[in-house]
Protein backbone atom coordinates (compact mmCIF):
# COMPACT_ATOMS: atom_id res chain seq x y z
CA UNK A 1 0.00 0.00 0.00
CA UNK A 2 1.58 3.27 -1.10
CA UNK A 3 1.49 6.46 0.91
CA UNK A 4 -0.38 9.36 -0.70
CA UNK A 5 1.04 12.87 -0.55
CA UNK A 6 -1.29 15.51 -2.01
CA UNK A 7 0.62 18.49 -3.39
CA UNK A 8 -0.73 21.81 -2.13
CA UNK A 9 0.64 23.48 -5.27
CA UNK A 10 -2.73 22.69 -6.86
CA UNK A 11 -4.78 23.74 -3.80
CA UNK A 12 -6.87 26.92 -3.66
CA UNK A 13 -4.52 29.38 -1.93
CA UNK A 14 -7.46 31.59 -0.99
CA UNK A 15 -8.92 28.66 0.94
CA UNK A 16 -5.77 26.96 2.11
CA UNK A 17 -7.18 26.31 5.55
CA UNK A 18 -10.15 24.43 4.05
CA UNK A 19 -7.85 22.32 1.87
CA UNK A 20 -5.56 21.52 4.83
CA UNK A 21 -8.57 20.36 6.86
CA UNK A 22 -9.68 18.23 3.92
CA UNK A 23 -6.27 16.52 3.88
CA UNK A 24 -6.26 16.15 7.68
CA UNK A 25 -9.59 14.33 7.47
CA UNK A 26 -8.73 12.26 4.39
CA UNK A 27 -6.76 9.06 3.86
CA UNK A 28 -3.71 11.10 2.78
CA UNK A 29 -0.45 10.36 4.58
CA UNK A 30 1.73 13.42 3.96
CA UNK A 31 1.42 17.04 2.84
CA UNK A 32 3.70 17.60 -0.17
CA UNK A 33 4.91 21.20 -0.27
CA UNK A 34 6.66 22.50 -3.40
CA UNK A 35 9.06 25.39 -2.88
CA UNK A 36 10.33 27.08 -6.08
CA UNK A 37 12.78 29.94 -6.37
CA UNK A 38 12.51 31.05 -9.99
CA UNK A 39 16.18 30.07 -10.41
CA UNK A 40 16.47 26.32 -10.14
CA UNK A 41 13.08 26.04 -11.84
CA UNK A 42 11.27 28.51 -14.09
CA UNK A 43 8.51 29.23 -11.57
CA UNK A 44 8.03 30.74 -8.10
CA UNK A 45 5.63 29.17 -5.63
CA UNK A 46 5.63 29.80 -1.87
CA UNK A 47 8.17 29.80 0.93
CA UNK A 48 8.85 29.86 4.64
CA UNK A 49 5.97 31.95 6.08
CA UNK A 50 3.39 29.91 4.17
CA UNK A 51 4.90 26.63 5.38
CA UNK A 52 4.96 27.91 8.96
CA UNK A 53 1.26 28.78 8.64
CA UNK A 54 0.41 25.36 7.14
CA UNK A 55 2.25 23.72 10.06
CA UNK A 56 -0.13 25.35 12.54
CA UNK A 57 -3.08 23.47 11.06
CA UNK A 58 -1.65 20.36 9.38
CA UNK A 59 -1.88 17.14 11.38
CA UNK A 60 0.29 15.02 9.09
CA UNK A 61 3.92 14.86 7.98
CA UNK A 62 5.14 17.93 6.10
CA UNK A 63 7.14 16.71 3.11
CA UNK A 64 8.96 19.76 1.74
CA UNK A 65 10.36 19.54 -1.80
CA UNK A 66 12.93 22.27 -2.36
CA UNK A 67 13.32 23.27 -6.00
CA UNK A 68 15.84 25.95 -5.10
CA UNK A 69 19.52 26.68 -5.54
CA UNK A 70 21.82 26.46 -2.53
CA UNK A 71 19.24 24.67 -0.35
CA UNK A 72 21.78 24.19 2.44
CA UNK A 73 21.57 27.90 3.23
CA UNK A 74 17.94 27.49 4.24
CA UNK A 75 17.76 24.03 5.85
CA UNK A 76 17.62 25.45 9.39
CA UNK A 77 14.86 27.88 8.35
CA UNK A 78 12.75 25.07 6.89
CA UNK A 79 13.22 23.08 10.08
CA UNK A 80 12.02 26.10 12.06
CA UNK A 81 9.02 26.46 9.73
CA UNK A 82 7.98 22.87 10.49
CA UNK A 83 9.37 20.61 7.77
CA UNK A 84 9.49 16.93 8.76
CA UNK A 85 11.07 15.71 5.51
CA UNK A 86 13.33 18.01 3.50
CA UNK A 87 14.25 17.05 -0.06
CA UNK A 88 16.97 18.85 -1.98
CA UNK A 89 17.69 18.43 -5.68
CA UNK A 90 20.74 16.38 -6.58
CA UNK A 91 21.31 18.79 -9.47
CA UNK A 92 21.49 21.74 -7.06
CA UNK A 93 23.94 20.11 -4.64
CA UNK A 94 27.61 19.63 -5.53
CA UNK A 95 28.13 18.39 -1.94
CA UNK A 96 25.05 16.26 -1.59
CA UNK A 97 26.41 14.07 1.21
CA UNK A 98 27.03 17.17 3.30
CA UNK A 99 23.47 18.41 2.65
CA UNK A 100 22.01 15.08 3.76
CA UNK A 101 24.06 15.13 6.98
CA UNK A 102 22.99 18.69 7.65
CA UNK A 103 19.29 17.87 7.22
CA UNK A 104 19.50 14.80 9.47
CA UNK A 105 21.55 16.74 11.99
CA UNK A 106 18.70 19.23 12.22
CA UNK A 107 16.31 16.39 13.08
CA UNK A 108 14.49 16.06 9.76
CA UNK A 109 14.29 13.13 7.36
CA UNK A 110 16.54 13.69 4.37
CA UNK A 111 15.32 13.42 0.79
CA UNK A 112 16.98 13.67 -2.60
CA UNK A 113 14.93 14.86 -5.55
CA UNK A 114 16.15 13.98 -9.05
CA UNK A 115 15.14 15.39 -12.40
CA UNK A 116 13.85 13.17 -15.20
CA UNK A 117 17.13 13.35 -17.15
CA UNK A 118 19.36 12.52 -14.17
CA UNK A 119 20.58 8.90 -14.12
CA UNK A 120 19.40 7.30 -10.91
CA UNK A 121 22.74 5.58 -10.21
CA UNK A 122 24.20 9.02 -9.34
CA UNK A 123 22.63 8.73 -5.90
CA UNK A 124 23.51 5.10 -5.16
CA UNK A 125 26.56 5.99 -3.08
CA UNK A 126 24.53 8.14 -0.67
CA UNK A 127 21.50 5.84 -0.46
CA UNK A 128 22.39 4.75 3.10
CA UNK A 129 22.01 8.41 4.16
CA UNK A 130 18.77 8.99 2.27
CA UNK A 131 15.31 8.51 3.77
CA UNK A 132 13.36 9.37 0.61
CA UNK A 133 14.15 9.67 -3.08
CA UNK A 134 11.73 12.11 -4.68
CA UNK A 135 11.91 10.94 -8.27
CA UNK A 136 10.56 13.54 -10.65
CA UNK A 137 8.31 12.06 -13.31
CA UNK A 138 7.77 15.48 -14.95
CA UNK A 139 10.12 18.43 -15.33
CA UNK A 140 9.89 20.27 -12.02
CA UNK A 141 8.23 23.67 -11.89
CA UNK A 142 4.57 23.10 -12.64
CA UNK A 143 1.64 20.93 -11.68
CA UNK A 144 -0.65 19.19 -14.14
CA UNK A 145 1.99 17.85 -16.55
CA UNK A 146 2.08 14.46 -18.28
CA UNK A 147 3.89 11.53 -16.60
CA UNK A 148 7.21 10.66 -18.30
CA UNK A 149 6.95 6.93 -18.96
CA UNK A 150 10.72 6.30 -18.75
CA UNK A 151 10.38 6.86 -14.98
CA UNK A 152 9.04 3.31 -14.59
CA UNK A 153 12.42 1.83 -15.54
CA UNK A 154 14.19 4.17 -13.12
CA UNK A 155 11.92 3.04 -10.29
CA UNK A 156 12.70 -0.61 -10.99
CA UNK A 157 16.47 0.04 -11.04
CA UNK A 158 16.37 2.07 -7.82
CA UNK A 159 14.17 -0.46 -6.03
CA UNK A 160 16.64 -3.23 -6.88
CA UNK A 161 19.57 -1.20 -5.56
CA UNK A 162 17.71 -0.35 -2.33
CA UNK A 163 17.14 -4.07 -1.76
CA UNK A 164 20.73 -4.96 -2.68
CA UNK A 165 22.10 -2.48 -0.15
CA UNK A 166 19.56 -3.47 2.51
CA UNK A 167 18.51 0.13 3.18
CA UNK A 168 14.99 1.38 3.83
CA UNK A 169 14.90 4.42 1.50
CA UNK A 170 11.40 5.23 0.25
CA UNK A 171 10.75 5.91 -3.42
CA UNK A 172 8.40 8.86 -3.94
CA UNK A 173 7.05 9.59 -7.41
CA UNK A 174 6.32 13.22 -8.16
CA UNK A 175 4.46 14.48 -11.21
CA UNK A 176 1.70 13.30 -13.49
CA UNK A 177 0.31 10.62 -11.18
CA UNK A 178 -3.25 9.73 -12.23
CA UNK A 179 -5.90 7.11 -11.46
CA UNK A 180 -4.81 5.44 -14.71
CA UNK A 181 -1.08 5.07 -14.00
CA UNK A 182 -0.96 4.81 -10.18
CA UNK A 183 -1.10 1.02 -10.15
CA UNK A 184 1.73 0.58 -12.64
CA UNK A 185 3.89 3.04 -10.68
CA UNK A 186 3.33 1.21 -7.39
CA UNK A 187 3.91 -2.18 -9.00
CA UNK A 188 7.26 -0.89 -10.30
CA UNK A 189 8.27 -0.18 -6.69
CA UNK A 190 7.02 3.25 -5.62
CA UNK A 191 6.28 3.72 -1.90
CA UNK A 192 4.82 7.24 -2.03
CA UNK A 193 2.67 8.92 -4.68
CA UNK A 194 2.52 12.71 -4.92
CA UNK A 195 -0.65 14.00 -6.54
CA UNK A 196 -1.61 17.60 -7.21
CA UNK A 197 -3.84 17.91 -10.22
CA UNK A 198 -5.43 14.47 -9.79
CA UNK A 199 -6.59 15.42 -6.29
CA UNK A 200 -7.50 19.08 -6.63
CA UNK A 201 -9.05 19.17 -10.11
CA UNK A 202 -11.89 16.95 -8.97
CA UNK A 203 -15.13 18.01 -7.29
CA UNK A 204 -14.35 15.82 -4.30
CA UNK A 205 -10.62 15.80 -3.45
CA UNK A 206 -11.03 13.55 -0.40
CA UNK A 207 -12.64 10.89 -2.59
CA UNK A 208 -9.84 11.28 -5.13
CA UNK A 209 -7.31 10.65 -2.34
CA UNK A 210 -9.17 7.58 -1.16
CA UNK A 211 -9.43 6.29 -4.75
CA UNK A 212 -5.68 6.72 -5.24
CA UNK A 213 -5.11 4.92 -1.97
CA UNK A 214 -7.19 1.93 -2.96
CA UNK A 215 -5.71 1.78 -6.48
CA UNK A 216 -2.22 1.62 -4.95
CA UNK A 217 -2.94 -1.27 -2.62
List active site positions.
Answer: 34, 174
Q: Which of 2, 4, 7, 152 binds ligand DX5 (CB under 6 A)?
A: 7
- Of 19-27, 58-66, 93-101, 207-215: span binding Zn ion (CB under 5 A): 58-66
172 lies in the site for ligand DX5, by CB under 6 A: no
143 lies in the site for ligand DX5, by CB under 6 A: yes
Q: Which residues pair with 31 in a beta bridge?
A: 62
116 lies in the site for ligand DX5, by CB under 6 A: no
Question: Could you give the CA distance from residue 138 to residue 136 in angstroms, rounded to a whole number?
Answer: 5
Contacts of ligand DX5 in 184-213 (CB under 6 A): 194-198
Considering the complex, what minimum distance in angstroms separates the CB of residue 145 from ligand DX5?
A: 5
Considering the complex, what minimum distance in angstroms separates the CB of residue 176 from Zn ion?
A: 11
How many residues touch Zn ion (CB under 5 A)?
A: 3
* Contact (Cβ atoms closer than 8 angstroms) between residue 154 and residue 135: yes
- Of 54-62, 135-143, 148-156, 160-168: span binding ligand DX5 (CB under 6 A): 135-143
215 lies in the site for ligand DX5, by CB under 6 A: no
Q: Are strands 30-36 and 109-114 parallel, antiparallel or unpaired?
A: unpaired
The terminus-to-terminus CA distance of the chain in angstroms comes to 4
* Contact (Cβ atoms closer than 8 angstroms) between residue 212 and residue 22: no
Q: Helix (H) and strand (E) counts for the chain?
A: 8, 8
* Contacts for 105 with CB less than 8 Å, ≥ 6 apart: none
- Of 11-19, 34-42, 155-163, 208-216: span binding Zn ion (CB under 5 A): 34-42
Please work out, in degrees rounded to the nearest 5, the angle formed at the alpha carbon of residue 38 by the alpha carbons of 40 and 99.
40
Buried b / exposed e over 115-149, threshold 16 CB at 10 Å, is: beebebeebbebbebbbbbbbbbbebbbbeeebbe
Q: Which of 64, 65, 171, 213 binds Zn ion (CB under 5 A)?
A: 65
19 lies in the site for ligand DX5, by CB under 6 A: no
Considering the complex, what minimum distance in angstroms separates the CB of residue 7 from ligand DX5?
A: 4
Task: Give me the residues that bind ligand DX5 (CB under 6 A), please.
Answer: 7, 9-10, 32, 34, 65, 138, 140-145, 174-177, 194-198
Task: Give me the residues that bind Zn ion (CB under 5 A), please.
Answer: 34, 65, 174
Amino acid sequence: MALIAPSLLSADFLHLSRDIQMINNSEADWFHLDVMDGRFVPNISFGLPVIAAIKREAKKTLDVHLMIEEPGKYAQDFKNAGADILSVHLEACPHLHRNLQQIKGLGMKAGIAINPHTPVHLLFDVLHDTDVVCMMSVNPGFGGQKFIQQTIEKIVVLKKEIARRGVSTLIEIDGGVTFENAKEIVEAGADVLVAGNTVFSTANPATAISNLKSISK
